[in-house]
Amino acid sequence: MPETAIKDKCKRCMLYADSRLFCAQLSEDELCELSDRSRTLSMKRGDTLEDEALAHWPIVAIDGGVLSMQHLLQDGRKTIAAFFMRGDILDLRNVTNRNRGALIALGKVSLCRLSPAVFEQVMAQNAKAQKVIWENLRDQAFRAFDHSGDIAKKQALEKLASFIFECRNRQEHFGKTELIEIPVRRIDLAEYLGMQPETVSRCFKDLEKRGILEAQSLGAVRITNVPLLRRIANGDKDVSTGRDGEGGIKILKIA
Amino acid sequence: MPETAIKDKCKRCMLYADSRLFCAQLSEDELCELSDRSRTLSMKRGDTLEDEALAHWPIVAIDGGVLSMQHLLQDGRKTIAAFFMRGDILDLRNVTNRNRGALIALGKVSLCRLSPAVFEQVMAQNAKAQKVIWENLRDQAFRAFDHSGDIAKKQALEKLASFIFECRNRQEHFGKTELIEIPVRRIDLAEYLGMQPETVSRCFKDLEKRGILEAQSLGAVRITNVPLLRRIANGDKDVSTGRDGEGGIKILKIA
DNA sequence: GCCCCGGATTGATCTCGATCAACATTTGCT
DNA sequence: AGCAAATGTTGATCGAGATCAATCCGGGGC
């Protein structure tokens, strides 16, 4: 077998199979070198990427599943600051643990610890790959800015509506259907949105009662009234308080 | 004057004068080309970077002042998702306005709209410059993750304490003093932390009453009890609720 | 299949911070 | 400097969502 044959582990990995993702941008030689010097890892719910492991492998690329960044307060309160999913690349080189939360899997996660040396080399040489990782990091940052805005002033119902749209934006679209996958448990969702699981539950029920969405299961919903959900997400009080029961008649107050 | 003479506008700009920032990494030729194809801009409180202007100049480097990213809800509620300060570089190429808030100055801001072509060229050629902008974007992302965690579950007092530490981390250290500059108004601070100006005011007063900090003016405070403020920021309920009036005696519950 | 247990739901109560209102102070403009 | 408008502070009241408590699932292991 020639030195440059693409490894099976890479052929099975979405980072290579999806033409928009990082490994698909690499030349055969680059991919093989990166592959040889990198290590895949499977995690299950609750597993943590330990500091010690991260010191050696500070660059992590997500193949599938949902990895969370969690902040733990001293009295036990917990928050999820971010979700990382397929295609996301985390560069934790020189990130002091002061401003980095724990990285914890929220289900089965498969990821690849990339060799920092090869990563750096590819970043310097391969403009296409550089563009992909730059845009990925930029997306992560903008998603975080958005999320900060969402949880700062929005009410519970509005936060949940925004989150459903965030899921919709991130998932590969299943045709034209408004079937949205919710890839995390209620409890994680609550921690991400800064609310209690009880409140999340109540808000889902409220949206169902108003005919805005249907629960398919705990892990998926179908939006039955996209414009109305959008208005709630955008903080239109006349809708979110339920005063306008018929829905969608009132003219939007577009700034 | 030779073609490669460094322009006055660059000599006066901290992006060049501070050796850690972007323009200081460039060769004289690179700097001059970038300078020729870029445009400085001064803004005053309330000025907005318009979409139209950003379409032509999507890359913005902050020389000084505080620029905010604001999200406006339909009923008038407003949140500040992020602060951008000296050295921050915003790359808004291909960012749909859907997930980008308005960019509004919170005081006098001086910035430089960088030529995308030259920026891209420098990013491809100059490894040192590439490292600086990569790390800057990474800092922005991690700061946003942190901030999301802060505002999701923390109480008002805890959020304010965290914010004071955020200011402390970001400012160039004035010697060893615990004098912290608060570079934004109360009202902006409230929008950033997802609370009301009244609450911000009450929390500052509370921290003063407890002897944890002294207000020097609206724009600066001196921390007089750093460990206690840290415990509040970290969500130690025994402290933040004021039950432990003497402060600092109780043993920390480190997880 | 059955058991088991973490997660999800539902209901009742309470609290922190939002809101409203009045007043003080700072900032910006001429 | 002096005025007007914007911002900040203080006090009183109210409500959305946290908290507490009691079930109710659903899916993984044997």
CA of B195 to C1' of C18 (A): 8
Same domain, yes or no: A111 and A159 = no
Q: Is A247 helix (H, G, I), strand (E, B) or coil?
A: coil
Instruction: Assign residue B74 the CATH number of its domain.
Output: 2.60.120.10
| SS3 labels along A89-148 | EEECCCCCHHHCCEEEECCCEEEEEECHHHHHHHHHHCHHHHHHHHHHHHHHHHHHHHHH
**CA–CA distances in Å: residue A42 to residues A62, A67, A115:** 10, 11, 17
- What span, in angstroms and rounded, lies between the C-alpha atoms of B31 and B205? 48
In a domain, B149, yes or no: no
Q: What's B181's domain CATH number?
A: 1.10.10.10
Q: Nearest CA of chain B to the CA of A126: how many Å?
A: 9
High-pLDDT (> 90) share of chain A, %: 74
Question: pLDDT tens digits for B133-162?
Answer: 999 999 999 999 999 999 999 999 999 999
Calpha distance A8→A125 (Å, rounded)? 25
Q: Which of B77, B110, B125 is the last residue of a domain?
A: B125
pLDDT, tens digit, for every residue of B192-217?
A: 999 999 999 999 999 999 999 999 88
Residues B15 and B96 in one domain: yes
Using one digit for the tens of pLDDT, what is the confidence trace for B70-89? Answer: 999 988 899 999 999 999 99
Residues A15 and A120 in one domain: yes
Which pLDDT tens digit goes with each residue over B2-38? 556 788 889 999 999 999 999 999 999 999 999 999 9
Does the residue A119 lie in any domain?
Answer: yes
pLDDT tier for residue B98 given thresholds of 50, 70 and 90: low
Structural domain boundaries enclosing B186: 154-240
Indicate whether A135 belongs to any domain.
Answer: no
- The answer to whether residue B236 scores a pLDDT higher than 70 is yes
CB neighbourhood size of B36 (10 A): 11
Closest residue, by C-alpha, to the C1' of D19? A196
Find the mean pLDDT for residues B35-46.
94
Q: Decide: helix, strand or coil at residue A211.
A: coil
pLDDT at B251: 33
Nearest CA in chain B to A77: B153
Compute CA distances B158 → A81, B81, B234, whole Å: 16, 18, 7
Q: Which nucleotides of C are covered by protein (CB under 7 A)?
A: 7-12, 16-21, 26-28
In this complex, which of A80, A146, A231 lies closest to B81 when CB atoms are compared?
A: A146
- The whole-number pLDDT of residue A178 equals 83
How many domains, chain A?
2
Measured CA distances, B95 to A47, A142, B27, B73, B91 (Å): 34, 9, 29, 20, 8
- Tens digits of per-residue pLDDT, A152-201? 999 999 999 999 999 998 887 655 678 899 999 999 999 999 999 999 99
Query: Could you report the per-residue pLDDT of A202-216, keeping only the tens digit for each?
Result: 999 999 999 999 988
pLDDT grade for A99, boundaries at 50, 70 and 90: low
B57-66, B128-137, B172-181: the lowest-pLDDT one:
B172-181
Condensed to tens digits (0 to 9), the pLDDT of residues A37-85 reads: 999 999 999 999 988 889 999 999 999 999 999 999 988 899 999 999 9
DSSP B199-241: HHHHHHHHHHHTTSEEEEETTEEEES-HHHHHHHHTT-HHHHT
- A243 band by pLDDT with thresholds 50, 70 and 90: very low
Averaged pLDDT of chain B: 88
The answer as to whether A247 is a domain residue is no
For position A246, what pLDDT does the model report?
38
Place of tokens 């914890």: A104
Q: For A17-33, what is the mean pLDDT?
A: 95
Residues B112 and B188 in one domain: no
DSSP A215: E
Q: What percent of chain B has pLDDT over 90?
A: 75
- Nearest by CB to A235, which of B73, B153, B231? B73
